[in-house]
Amino acid sequence: MQRRRASPDERVLQVAGQLFLRYGFEKTTMDDIAREAGVAKATLYRYWPSKEALFESLLYREIREVNRAFLARIEADPQGGTIGRIIYHAFAATYDRPFLRALMTTESRTLGAYLRRHSPDLSHWQFRLDRQLVEALQQVGVLRDDIEPGLLTYLLSVVSLGLASAAEFIAPEYTPPVEALTEGIAEMVERAFAPPGGGDSARGKEVLRQFLGVIDESLAELERATRRKRLEGGAV
């Protein structure tokens, strides 16, 4: 069976991700990407008017891929719908993607700067969806319901964002192995935010299936809105 050849768009995104990992976002140029992908620079700019626009397309693709991997992990784990395992599989699926792993560690400044300068809509979108998930998990007894949903969403965000910012302040030699780090964070969240008994994994899984479907639809709409802003000369 022959492997399907990557489309030109996919090829460009693959190459861009590889170059961002190899040289860093700031040092990689659109010329580098066009040359390595084997496309004319004019063609590249026709689809992505800036390096930031290309970065955003790559980020959206990575979010979709990590969500698929995350759901597969959840489904395969009998306790996958409990909050500790949700957190474990979310981090593990993210760290399995080299590009996202870099954004959580060595390139964390790139992601933060990008979101602040070019895509505040993405950070608002993420927090609103995270809050919806928190509320749904509280309703089915997977998360404690004695903490206000907005506060709980913020605290869980601090865990993930704190992990990303730690790479800027803690020397690499002091960073634990990924597996130990992921297990440790999951256990910490479980102890802090799980209800007595740990919650109903089956109900948690059902919430996640529905939620990830909502993410796919919402992400597609966010991408369309971003393209419209570009065409209208918006700052993206």
Encode pLDDT of 7-56 as tens digits.
668 889 999 999 988 888 888 999 999 999 999 998 898 888 888 888 88
In which band, very low, low, confident or very high, does the pLDDT at 141 lie, cut at 50, 70 and 90?
very high
* CB neighbours of residue 158 within 10 Å: 11
Q: What percent of the chain has pLDDT over 70?
A: 85
- How would you class 194 by CB atoms within 10 Å of its CB: exposed for 0-12, middle for 13-18, buried for 19 or more? middle
Q: What is the pLDDT of residue 117?
A: 62
Fold match between 1-49 and 63-219? Answer: no
Domain extents for the chain? 1-49, 63-219
CATH class of residue range 63-219: mainly alpha
3-state class (DSSP) for residue 171: coil
- The pLDDT score that the predictor gives to residue 34 is 94
Cα 37 to its chain centre, rounded Å, is 25
Its pTM surpasses 0.75? yes
Residue 8 and residue 154: Cα distance in Å, rounded? 39
Q: Tokens 């971003």, residue? A: 226
How far apart CA 136 and CA 206 sit, in angstroms, is 10
CATH class (in words) of the domain with range 1-49: mainly alpha
Higher pLDDT, 171 or 96: 96
pLDDT value of residue 119: 58
